[in-house]
Structure 1
Amino acid sequence: MPKTRPPYDSEFRQRIVELHRSGRSLKSLASEFGCTEQSIRNWSKHSGGTPSSAPKPGLGADEKAELEKLRREVRTLREERDILKKAAAWFAQEAAATPKRRTDS
């Protein structure tokens, strides 16, 4: 029969989850506190998510919406710039291929 450990108390689990959300790696926490990486993953999942899903400090709802709007605008501007580059290259080739007409009136 495999040897099992008594369950960790809720305060210990919460502190480990907080450390993980603050940026500490699963591996370092597991080795330092004597629990498994999977246990920490499970505790994080049950307590409301992973470090990447934690809200970013300093960004409110309005700022997030503005950031998303600006990212969309940058994407659009980059697409337009690429189209204009291709058009300029095409017109440059056309101008070089077509000899100019002289008008001596």
Structure 2
Amino acid sequence: MPKPYPQEFRDDVVRVARNREPGVHLKQIAADFGISESCLTNWMKTADVEDGVKPGSTGAENTENRELKKRIRLLEQENEVLRRAAAYLSQANLPGK
């Protein structure tokens, strides 16, 4: 997998593409920066979501969701350990043991 471009470079390319003069195609801008047209299109879509122009989840929201899911998994595991411990301890307190 190729090394990702720095965010600053992506932002610059998207800014140039958004402020292009009439008649200049994305293909030409992408070629000038040495990237593919599909790459530039994807960067522009991502920038539109990040800027709130189009609906979608931002990078910050995706990161937060990923962290929250990890936290939920950990809490579910801790809950299961406590549930098993409670069941074990309740068995130990039965009369006749």
Q: Normalised by the size of structure 1, how large is the TM-score?
A: 0.43
Query: Which of 1 and 2 has greater Rg?
Result: 1
Q: Normalised by the size of structure 2, how large is the TM-score?
A: 0.46
